[in-house]
Amino acid sequence: MNRYDDWPGRLEAYMNKALREKFDWRTFNCAIFCCGCIESMTGVNPSDDFFKDKYETPEQAYKLIKKFCDNSQAGLLHLCKKMADTHGMKKVDPAFAQRGSVVLFDIGQSKKEYALGVIALNGRQIMAVRVDEGLVFLPLSLAEFAWSLD
C-alpha cells in the first residue's frame, strides 16, 4: 500500500473533519476512523467490504469480525492482522511506529479489550474514537501493536 506524496495534508484534512463527528457504531467508530485515515493517505479503504453500515452494536461488530476472520475467537487483533496481510501493511514495534501508522491499544477495562487508533501528525499521540467523547488524543505509550502503511 503506497501513500500519496501529499499524505500528511490529506490525513490532516480527514482528522480535522473527524473531530466534528460523534461516535456511532454504524458510521463512526475506531475501525471506521482508522480505515478512513488509511483511505485519506492511500486511496484504499481496507473496510470497503466489511464495516460501514453493517452493524449497530458491539455484539454485531464482533460477530462480523469472527465471520470475516473465520475464527470463533477472533477480535480486533485478529481483524487487524488479516487486513494488514491482505493490504500489505507491515507490523512494526509500536516504539518505532510513525505518523499515520495504525495502532491497537488496550482501552483499560477490567479485561483485555482493544481499540484502534492512528498515530497523530505530531508523532507523539494516538488519535482514537471514544464512545462518550468522539475523537480524542491519547498517549502513544498505550500502543501495544502497530502497522505501517509503507
Question: Cβ(62)–Cβ(75) under 8 Å?
Answer: yes
Report the CATH superfamily, name and number, of domain 7-148: endopeptidase domain like (from Nostoc punctiforme) (3.90.1720.10)
* Alpha-carbon distances of 1 from 36, 46, 49, 72, 121, rounded to whole Å: 14, 10, 17, 29, 19
Q: Give the lowest-confidence range in 22-26, 120-124, 133-137.
A: 22-26
How far apart, in whole angstroms, are the C-alpha atoms of residue 83 and residue 45?
Answer: 10
Count Cβ neighbours within 10 Å for each residue of 56-87 and write b for 16 or more, e otherwise: eeeeebeebbbebbeeeebbbebbbbbbbeee
Q: What is the pLDDT of residue 18?
A: 96
For the segment 34-50, the average pLDDT, to the nearest whole number, is 89
Q: How confident is the model at residue 36 (pLDDT cuts 50, 70, 90)?
A: very high
For the segment 58-66, the average pLDDT, to the nearest whole number, is 80
Place of cell 479489550: 113
Q: How confident is the model at residue 83 (pLDDT cuts 50, 70, 90)?
A: confident
The residue ranking higher by pLDDT, 112 or 130, is 130
How far apart, in whole angstroms, are the C-alpha atoms of residue 1 and residue 89?
Answer: 7
How far apart, in whole angstroms, are the C-alpha atoms of residue 119 and residue 28?
Answer: 18
Q: How confident is the model at residue 51 (pLDDT cuts 50, 70, 90)?
A: low
For the segment 48-55, the average pLDDT, to the nearest whole number, is 65
* Mean residue pLDDT across the chain: 88
